[in-house]
Amino acid sequence: MASSVLVFLLFLLFASSYAQLSSTFYAKSCPKALSTIKTAGCDASLLLDDTSSFTGEKTALPNVNSVRGFDVIDTIKTKVESACPGVVSCADILAVAARDSVVALGGKSWKIQLGRRDATTASRSKANSDIPRSTFSLSQLISSFSDKGLSAKEMVTLSGGHTIGQARCTIFRARIYNDTNINTAYATTLKSNCPSTGSDDSLAPIDTASPKVFDNSYYRNLVNSKGLLHSDQELYNNGSTDAQVISYRRKPSTFLSDFAVAMVKMGNISPLTGKSGQIRTDCRKIN
């Protein structure tokens, strides 16, 4: 199942009033909702077939904006709509698909709170202002999560989502050419597919050790100065969050259970519920 689903979930969640979500929201209206999402998601799991090393620009380029996530959600939505037309929101599908992806890749499960509705507007400027950047310093990362009610500890925990998935050369170029807190051999390897100009869309796994396993190796990488994004390495750069990184490196089970709890909390930030918003028919556009 698509690792990139997670990142869309993040966008969605950051964009979307503590309200009454419930784990049994679809029990009567669409009893097959959860199993349909899981099965359809697995059938669409082409992302698991990516190579674990650097993915070349040529093969990746046409897929960068489509196959890396949105198509998977479209496939799931189509199947859910045929089971229960107009009942299950895209927002809930994303939340469930993210959870199922984590579990499929070895992470710990959590109970999903359901009943989110889909937005009828979107704000580019809010996405730009509210979503943290990979160029952020530790204090900027802490404050962007704090603005959403998430603690510094939860920020470090949720950043562990970077144990899967990929990033583009254009995102990590400045880190591999200009940062000094990066393992030299690691930077050299990355430079071979991410020249100082060009190949902007070449992809590299964010977790160089085990890009398709939901484990604690993201934190091990940080201790070895092998964070791919500048923002990743900020979590272990002689600052206030070093101790938590070390603790997660030592105790994978603590990371996995903290991650599950933090995902529930992030998933409950300001959802549309009740009569707000709509149930989109096509996740890509409003009805």
Residues that bind ligand NAG (CB under 6 A): 173-174, 177-178, 181, 196, 237-238
Closest CB to ligand NAG among residues 212, 230 = 230
Q: Helix or strand or coil: residue 144?
A: helix
139, two tokens: 């204090």
Q: State how far the alpha carbon of 101 is from the alpha carbons of 40, 63, 72, 166, 270, in Å.
A: 12, 19, 12, 15, 23
237 binds, among ligand NAG, ligand HEM, none (CB under 5 to 8 A by kind): ligand NAG
**Residue holding tokens 């380029």?**
61
List the single partner that 174 binds among ligand HEM, ligand NAG, none, CB under 5 to 8 Å by kind.
Answer: ligand NAG
Closer of 81 and 175 to ligand HEM (Cβ)? 175
Residue 207 is assigned to a ligand binding site: yes
Is 45 annotated in a binding site? The answer is yes
According to DSSP, residue 63 is labeled: G
User: Is 162 marked within a binding site?
Assistant: yes
Ligand-binding annotation for 24, yes or no, is: no
The answer to whether the annotation marks 230 as part of a ligand binding site is no
Select 78 or 135, whichever has its Cβ closest to ligand HEM.
135
At closest approach, how far in Å is the CB of 62 from ligand HEM? 15
Nearest to 244 by CA among 164, 156, 162: 156
Helices (H), 61-206: 70-83, 90-104, 124-130, 138-146, 152-159, 169-178, 184-193
Tell me how far apart the alpha carbons of residues 35 and 54 are, in angstroms, rounded to a whole number: 33
Q: Which amino acid is at 26?
A: Y
**Minimum CB–partner distance for residue 231 and ligand HEM (Å):** 4
73 Cβ neighbours under 8 A, 6+ residues apart: 5, 8, 90, 93, 94, 97, 283
Q: Which residues bind ligand HEM (CB under 6 A)?
A: 3-4, 6-7, 10, 68-69, 132-134, 136, 141, 155, 158-159, 161-162, 164-168, 171, 229, 231
* 256, 47 contact by CB (below 8 A): no
Nearest-angstrom CA–CA distance, 106 and 92: 22
Q: Which is nearer to ligand HEM, 34 or 158 (CB)?
A: 158
User: Known binder of ligand: residue 106?
Assistant: no
Judged by beta carbon distances under 5 to 8 A according to partner kind, the member of ligand HEM, ligand NAG, none in contact with residue 177 is ligand NAG
Q: Judged by CB, which is closer to ligand NAG: 101, or 237? A: 237
Q: Whose CA is closest to 63, among 88, 46, 83, 87?
A: 46
Which of 135/253 has CB closer to ligand NAG?
135
What are the binding residues for heme b? 162
Q: Which residues belong to the annotated binding site for substrate? A: 132
- Which residue positions form the known binding site for Ca(2+)? 41, 43, 45, 57, 163, 207, 215
